[in-house]
Amino acid sequence: MKLPKINVPLLIISLGIIFSLYLLSRVPDDIYFSGDAGLKALLAKQFSSGKLNFDLDLSVPGWVRNLWDNGLYPFEPPFSYKISNRYYITFPFTFPLITAPFHALFGYRGFYIVPLLSTWIIWFNFYRICQFFKTSIVATSIGLATLIFASPLTMYSAMYWEHTLAVSLAFGGLVIILTKGEEWFTKKDAVVSGILIGLSVWFRPEFLALIAILIPLALVSYQIKLGKISIINQHKILFIISLLGTVSCFFLINKLIYDHPLGAHALQVVEEFSLQDRLSKANRIFGRLWKNFREYFPVVYFTIIFTGLSVFYKSIKLTAAMRKIVLISIPLIFLVPILLPSDGGKQWGPRFLLILIPLLSLLAVFILESTLSIRQFGIKYISTGIFAALFIVGVHVNTFMGINYSYFTGNIEAIDILNFFRQDDHKIVAVAHQYISQSFEAAFKNKLFFLTKNSDDVSKLGLALNEQGYNKFVYVCASYDPCFSSPTIPSQLNISAKDKLLRVQLTQVKKNKKYIIQEAEIVQAKGN
């Protein structure tokens, strides 16, 4: 009896799908890996309810809105901006809009369908490009295993973030360019690849760096024969038009909504622009991004070493596709930090450089396969040993450590507080830091959140609550705020009302490693 042949690359993809679904199963309800996802979730829920406002228009009583307008809005820059008396989140509206239908159908779990499917598409496109270049089954399998288990990419499949969608779109367009750009690049290919890469900007602004690389390369090739490193050889103008047209449509929509072509993101990066300050900040961001990239994707060392050796050893040859990947990747690393307001905060590997993961995984596979046929100086054994060692480190960092940090231990305190809120009947929640609102507000329709960073803010809130008939609220402090180690709000706070003296009395009711919750009671102070 003949055993059926097993397609090992597809088997690895299947294992990756099972692994990503397992990661998703470990995500607790209403908990987000990064708090800013809570802002996107609020906007997505607004869309899914049929309310298609692009500003975050939360349904609250007038007195609440008055307090928000007077400095107690639960979110603040750089995550939220008030534009024309409306509150907008910094992030593009596109991701909440595209995930809203899935939330309407499947609830909280629906938020993760787009990141999950986008990751799977990246894997299949990787497999497809390996097939096109007739990469061996062994090399293709190694490449997929690297992409899925030894890089940060899969971790993002179970996070409510737009990065995998943007990478999927851009990588899909680049796959067309890498496979067909030299000879069979049709008009359809030019349009489709341009639109796909252009659409990535709709979700992540740092992909403007990719466009800033591709357009000059396409234009320069008209004047200078770039030979084997020419990105595309035919229909260059059509490609550029489709690319710029797609991005321009996004800019136009942003202009109509936010009164700026770059959207609210411009308020972070472009406003009060100083070239010297921006380059200085970009340099600092670059240092952190590049350090984290090497830490979470150690296989990059393999590509650096053997790409460098190819300059000195003719036996290590870079094909046209490999040169194109290098030509795109190197400037991208330096350009992306210029477009960023920060290095990304809490993340698993530098998410702003995530497009480099499939590109450099592909380059690593091509290089590894080419070195296996070289017998000089034991290069094939050296390359195999180096790759294997870096692969093992990558699997340990991303698969084992990633699961433990992101899904087992990283959410314990947040789940504890979420469960407290679910059982607590206080309607008013005052927070010392906007990250707390980002983390929890999306989970509760019946609670009102206020940002109270100091005693004056608490006094303002207490006075307004007393006027509305509320005599209790909860005050939440987090470990990332100074109030956690040294209380910034006294246990008793006097408030002067029109005809009486009020006092806010704070009593601790809950504490864990990351959060302190105090119950605040508004009482009439006794006269002297």
Condensed to tens digits (0 to 9), the pLDDT of residues 303-354 reads 999 999 888 777 778 888 999 999 999 999 999 999 988 888 888 989 999 9
Percent of the chain with pLDDT over 70: 95
pLDDT of residue 42: 97
Residue 190 to residue 181: CA distance in whole angstroms? 9
When pLDDT is averaged across residues 60-76 and rounded to a whole number, the result is 96
Length of the chain: 528
When pLDDT is averaged across residues 491-501 and rounded to a whole number, the result is 79
Stated as kind and residue range, the H or E segment containing 163 is helix 163-180
Which has the minimum average pLDDT: 197-211, 213-227, 301-315, 457-471?
213-227
Mean of per-residue pLDDT scores for the chain = 91
Kindly give the residue spans of alpha helices, DSSP state H, lying in 297-374. 300-312, 320-335, 356-371
Confidence of residue 402 (pLDDT cuts 50, 70, 90): confident
Please tell me which of 164-168, 423-427, 462-466, 505-509 the model is most confident about, judged by mean pLDDT. Answer: 164-168
Q: Is the pLDDT of residue 259 over 90?
A: no
pLDDT of residue 228: 56
pLDDT of residue 225: 57
Confidence of residue 377 (pLDDT cuts 50, 70, 90): confident
When pLDDT is averaged across residues 267-281 and rounded to a whole number, the result is 72
Confidence of residue 64 (pLDDT cuts 50, 70, 90): very high
Contacts 24+ apart (CB under 8 A), 128-132: 128/175, 129/175, 129/178, 129/179, 129/362, 130/9, 130/362, 130/365, 132/179
Q: Is the pLDDT of residue 48 over 80?
A: yes
Burial of 443 by CB count in 10 Å (0-12 exposed, 13-18 middle, 19+ buried)?
Answer: middle
Sequence ranges of the domains in the chain: 31-97+104-109, 98-103+110-285+292-392, 412-524
pLDDT of residue 279: 86
Residue 451: count of CB within 10 angstroms of its CB: 21
Return the amino acid letter for 362.
L
Q: Is the pLDDT of residue 270 over 80?
A: no
When pLDDT is averaged across residues 414-419 and rounded to a whole number, the result is 94
Which has the minimum average pLDDT: 167-176, 187-196, 232-241, 257-266?
257-266
Residue 451 to residue 71: CA distance in whole angstroms? 8
Confidence of residue 72 (pLDDT cuts 50, 70, 90): very high
Burial of 61 by CB count in 10 Å (0-12 exposed, 13-18 middle, 19+ buried)?
Answer: exposed
Confidence of residue 14 (pLDDT cuts 50, 70, 90): very high
3-state secondary structure of 428: strand
Residue 235 to residue 353: CA distance in whole angstroms? 29
When pLDDT is averaged across residues 26-39 and rounded to a whole number, the result is 90
pLDDT of residue 57: 94
Q: Which two tokens mark 447?
A: 């609670």
Q: Is the pLDDT of residue 528 over 60?
A: no
Confidence of residue 4 (pLDDT cuts 50, 70, 90): low
| Spacing of C-alpha 212 from chain mean position | 21
Q: Is the pLDDT of residue 271 over 60?
A: no
Q: Is the pLDDT of residue 363 over 80?
A: yes
On whether the CB atoms of residues 335 and 215 are closer than 8 A, the answer is no
pLDDT of residue 222: 63
3-state secondary structure of 508: strand
3-state secondary structure of 438: helix
Query: Tokens 């596109």 — which residue?
Result: 94
Q: Which two tokens mark 181?
A: 């750009």
Q: What is the DSSP string of 78-98?
A: TTEEEETTEEEESS-THHHHH
Which has the minimum average pLDDT: 239-243, 259-263, 375-379, 449-453?
375-379
Confidence of residue 226 (pLDDT cuts 50, 70, 90): low
pLDDT of residue 230: 73
When pLDDT is averaged across residues 409-420 and rounded to a whole number, the result is 88
Kindly give the residue spans of alpha helices, DSSP state H, lying in 204-258. 208-223, 236-258
List residues bridging with 90 in a β-sheet: none
Q: Is the pLDDT of residue 526 over 80?
A: no
Confidence of residue 290 (pLDDT cuts 50, 70, 90): very high
Query: Tokens 């809120």 — which residue?
Result: 421
pTM, entire model: 0.93
pLDDT of residue 1: 43
Confidence of residue 224 (pLDDT cuts 50, 70, 90): low
